[in-house]
């Protein structure tokens, strides 16, 4: 078994707990270098996390012979070009979600990695979290019978200090959209994982709060290749937070959240069952482990450039038709 030596491009907040330590704690994995444009911030991150090397230039990290694979944790507007650079260097690449600004960029990234014969992975880590694997196992075991439909509702308030710059997640030039791009992609992706590919999608969007340039309200309908039908409502200018996905079958239904930790609920004629499932300390570590295992020829990672491109296609159809 080979130890996969990782380098990170963009060591911001997401890497502090969610992902960064996972590269150190996964089996046969080691984080050896980080890069940030501000060299002092890169040095600070490396010092705090016990990493030997730090860079302020991405090419130096990508071309470091001691870096076997690269994790790109920048905002989405940088994903496309960095993936192409890593692919050109002949190294596997793991990129944050959403995969890119749009579906065409995703396709370019997939083709570049295929041409270079390197693996491309995307950080849709719910595909490996115990909570969502339990939901999938219940569906696969027929716990709710034949699956019929899905309904999603996700609302949250918008709180922002007017004296500070807007977060990049609501600036389309950087994020590709608004909070829908940043958050709904997780839900759409794990539904692809659980129920199979979505074959058609459409939606309506609005900017009702006028707090930022991107949409803050999205209504969607979509259908899966299996025939399952789905609806979704996302509002980021609501008075309260709500996060619920329901999957309906002809013998019951499942209720759960995309981002919460409350128990998964199975409702059927025999009553209600609840499944309390803890999250791992570093939520990306199980996916990182699956990537390392694939690179070592053991198993296949469930979140690839191909699967993530499908999610990008669905989001684009919902937002832009």
Residues 70 and 166 in one domain: no
Contact 1, 62 (CB under 8 A): no
Would you state the pLDDT for residue 172?
A: 97
* pLDDT tens figures, 20-59: 999 999 999 999 999 999 999 999 999 999 999 999 999 9
Would you state the pLDDT for residue 68?
A: 98
Residues 140 and 192 in one domain: yes
Number of domains observed in the structure of the chain: 2
Residues 244 and 261 in one domain: yes
* pLDDT tens figures, 113-139: 999 999 999 999 999 999 999 999 999
Instruction: Give the mean pLDDT of the chain.
Output: 97
In a domain, 252, yes or no: yes
* pLDDT tens figures, 157-186: 998 887 889 999 999 999 999 999 999 999
Contact 74, 82 (CB under 8 A): yes
Q: Is the peptide bond before 98 cis (omega within 30 degrees of 0)?
A: yes
Beta bridge partners, 268, equal: 252, 271
How far from each other are the two terminal CA atoms of the chain, in whole angstroms? 46
Residues 241 and 261 in one domain: yes
Residues 91 and 159 in one domain: no
Side-chain-side CA neighbours of residue 220 (13 Å)? 32
Q: Is the pLDDT of residue 195 over 90?
A: yes
Fill in the DSSP letter of residue 89.
Answer: T
> By residue range, what is the domain housing residue 240?
130-279
Residues 273 and 289 in one domain: no
Would you state the pLDDT for residue 249?
A: 98
* pLDDT tens figures, 204-227: 999 999 999 999 999 999 999 999
The stretches of 180-304 forming alpha helices (DSSP H) are 185-195, 285-295
Residues 88 and 10 in one domain: yes
In a domain, 318, yes or no: no
Residues 263 and 148 in one domain: yes
Q: Is the pLDDT of residue 235 over 90?
A: yes
Would you state the pLDDT for residue 210?
A: 95
Side-chain-side CA neighbours of residue 40 (13 Å)? 0
In a domain, 82, yes or no: yes
In a domain, 174, yes or no: yes
In a domain, 234, yes or no: yes
In a domain, 306, yes or no: no
Residues 186 and 149 in one domain: yes
Residues 223 and 108 in one domain: no
- Percent of the chain with pLDDT strictly greater than 90: 98
Residues 233 and 261 in one domain: yes
In a domain, 221, yes or no: yes
In a domain, 77, yes or no: yes
User: What is the domain-level CATH number for residue 40?
Assistant: 3.40.50.720
Would you state the pLDDT for residue 29?
A: 98
Would you state the pLDDT for residue 161?
A: 82
User: What is the domain-level CATH number for residue 143?
Assistant: 3.30.360.10
Residues 244 and 152 in one domain: yes
Would you state the pLDDT for residue 162?
A: 79
Would you state the pLDDT for residue 160?
A: 84
Residue 205 DSSP SS3? strand
Strand runs labelled E in the chain: 4-9, 29-35, 53-55, 69-72, 93-95, 120-122, 147-155, 198-206, 217-224, 229-235, 242-249, 252-256, 264-268, 271-275
* pLDDT tens figures, 286-296: 999 999 999 99
């Amino acid at each position: 078994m080979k130890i996969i030596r990782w380098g990170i491009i963009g060591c911001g907040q997401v890497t502090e707990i969610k992902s960064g330590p996972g590269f150190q704690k996964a089996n046969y994995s080691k984080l050896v270098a980080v890069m940030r444009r501000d060299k002092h911030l890169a040095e600070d991150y490396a010092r705090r996390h016990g990493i030997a090397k730090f860079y302020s230039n991405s090419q130096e990290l990508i071309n470091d012979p001691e870096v076997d694979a690269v994790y790109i944790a920048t905002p989405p507007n940088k994903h496309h070009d960095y993936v192409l650079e890593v692919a050109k260097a002949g190294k596997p690449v793991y990129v944050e979600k959403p995969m890119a600004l749009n579906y065409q960029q995703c396709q370019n990234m997939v083709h570049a990695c295929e041409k270079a014969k390197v693996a491309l992975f995307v950080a849709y880590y719910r595909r490996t979290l115990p909570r969502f694997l339990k939901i999938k196992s219940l569906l696969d075991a027929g716990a709710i019978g034949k699956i019929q439909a899905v309904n999603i509702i996700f609302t949250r308030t918008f709180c922002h200090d007017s004296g500070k710059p807007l977060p990049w997640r609501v600036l389309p030039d950087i994020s590709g959209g608004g909070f829908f791009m940043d958050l709904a992609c997780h839900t759409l992706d794990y539904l692809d994982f659980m129920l199979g590919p979505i074959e058609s999608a459409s939606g309506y969007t609005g900017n009702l709060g006028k707090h930022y340039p991107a949409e803050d309200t999205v209504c969607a309908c979509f259908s899966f290749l299996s025939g399952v039908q789905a609806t979704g409502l996302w509002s980021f200018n609501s008075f309260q937070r709500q996060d619920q996905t329901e999957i309906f079958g002809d013998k019951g239904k499942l209720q759960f959240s995309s981002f919460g930790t409350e128990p998964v609920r199975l409702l059927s004629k025999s009553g209600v069952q609840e499944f309390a499932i803890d999250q791992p300390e570093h939520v990306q570590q199980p996916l990182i482990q699956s990537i390392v295992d694939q690179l070592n020829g053991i198993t296949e990672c469930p979140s690839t450039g191909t699967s993530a491109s499908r999610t990008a296609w669905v989001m684009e159809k919902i937002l832009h038709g």
